[in-house]
Structure 1
């Protein structure tokens, strides 16, 4: 994922330089400009693969105007979940647009994902579903937000990094034959590289979660490739199929070599 992200970052910076302040703010871009921007990003990620619009395979829910640009809630819904192999989430005008790629495993219930992201400018966000037969389908939402990638943490870097890698998981109600909802919380500042240390006035180096793997017993629920656009202290809501035995294991790693693992006892379906 990283080489693609760096290419996308270069496209963002060159676009901002060419179009001036209005381009950087994103608010005054025309639909033609937004489409051209998306076409560039899509080529950098997917090459020449065709991406079709859809109203049924994936839907993206996001606030029209973000209350906090550094913590924007995103819900991805896949009504025809059995057809979905993975999901790509792109924030077109972020410095590193390719925010997340979820690859589902056999223990996943693919109906819904929730996460929180940073949004830096007024922008389209794209959710691209990849189906089991290798086709791509996109849904789009326009979000008004500004400054999410450079927003300060509100605490010192040392405080933000305290307990880094700690994890919690909450489970929803379990019923026989039904998926179980879960919420994974990982303590990590996910520094974007654009945030200024309020004491030293230097920019804090980027340090962010790159990979998360979640398994149930010997089966994968999902693998996530992430980047700086995922909000600090990542929270991911997902669901899994409670078939078989074994704990839920989470392995996470960041771009500076940090690695953390944790196991959680999965609830058994109620009788």
Structure 2
């Protein structure tokens, strides 16, 4: 066989080898790295000791749920819902905490529940980098349960503030009550507030926007407390929250909000019957 023909056949064979499917079997594409161990977060371990000492955190099972995306579309506006159902042997939930490990201020929310208030919160949060997010609930018997979620997001705390929407005044509050299930009522609240975290640059001046965010919410019915929430600047702007309680409440529902500049805002809603 002529040398030219031999070279042609060798090159053809090499091409077939490169195109063969079994070539992928020897060098498959790399698999995505698994999420890091949630217990290896030094920041979380510090928060855990500060809030709960050496108390055990039990496996939540189906009793505690934390729902949010695996990857954020917008790290400054990440939807989040946490909820817990009472366990028959443990009683109702009395408190909830939301921790975002790698945010500049990890403890994003702490709720104290009263009377018929249910352990349910739906809101939007800022996420600064790839991180574990944790919901911790304390039952009436004192036991703690934790649900953990790993999310891929970056830059949510440094994102520029949203442009002003119309001429709405600072502290305007919109309240709406619905009945998502029999015997349950849900408040949907939107508070007109910039919720600046002090970390983002103004896109026009290129200067840091001073921190100005809601720090506390109180919800009551006929002056009887339903819940109290300590908030951090991790809540997205404008702040929106959904909260639930059990029973067909009637009377004056009041939402009172305070920000880090000691400004106070409130709105009331008269409940006359179970919403349909």
- Paired with 2:166 and 2:122, the residues of 1 have a C-alpha distance of 23
- TM-fit CA distance, 1:244: 5.6
1:253–1:259 contact (8 Å) kept in structure 2 = yes
Q: Which residue of 2 aligns with 1:20?
A: none
Aligned CA RMSD, in angstroms, stands at 2.5
Larger Rg, first or second structure (1 or 2):
2
Q: Distance in 1 between matches of 2:160 and 2:166?
A: 11
**CA displacement at 1:160 relative to structure 2:** 9.4
What is the TM-score normalised by the length of structure 2?
0.79
Normalised by the size of structure 1, how large is the TM-score? 0.81
Distance (whole Å) between structure 2 residues aligned to residue 144 and residue 73 of structure 1: 13
Correspondence for 2:52 among 41, 46, 51: 46
Q: Which has the higher contact order (CA 8 A, sep 6+)?
A: 1
| Matching of residue 142 in structure 1 with residue 147 in structure 2 | no
> Structure 1 regions of 5+ residues with no counterpart?
1-26
Q: Mean alpha-carbon deviation: is it higher for 83-92 or for 31-40? A: 31-40
Moved more, 47-56 or 225-234: 47-56
**CA contact 1:217–1:244 (8 Å) conserved in 2:** no
SS at match of 2:235: coil
1:119 equivalenced with 2:127 (yes/no): yes
Alpha-carbon distance between aligned partners in 2 of 1:91 and 1:117, rounded to the nearest angstrom = 9
- The whole-number CA distance in structure 1 between the counterparts of 2:249 and 2:70 is 41
- Structure 1 residue 31 and structure 2 residue 40: aligned? no
Contact 2:80 2:122 in 1 (8 A): yes
2:103–2:129 Cα contact (<8 Å) kept: yes
Distance change (3 Å), C-alpha of 1:164 and 1:153 = same
- Distance change (3 Å), C-alpha of 1:161 and 1:94: farther
Q: Deviations over 1:208-253 (max 9, x none)?
A: 1000000111322211000011111111111223456421001100
Task: Determine the structure 1 residue equivalent to 2:258.
Answer: 253
Runs of 4+ that moved beyond 6 A: none
Residue 109 of structure 2 corresponds to 100
Q: Give the distance between the partners of 1:270 and 1:140, measured in 2 at CA.
A: 34
The answer to which structure has the higher helix fraction is: 1
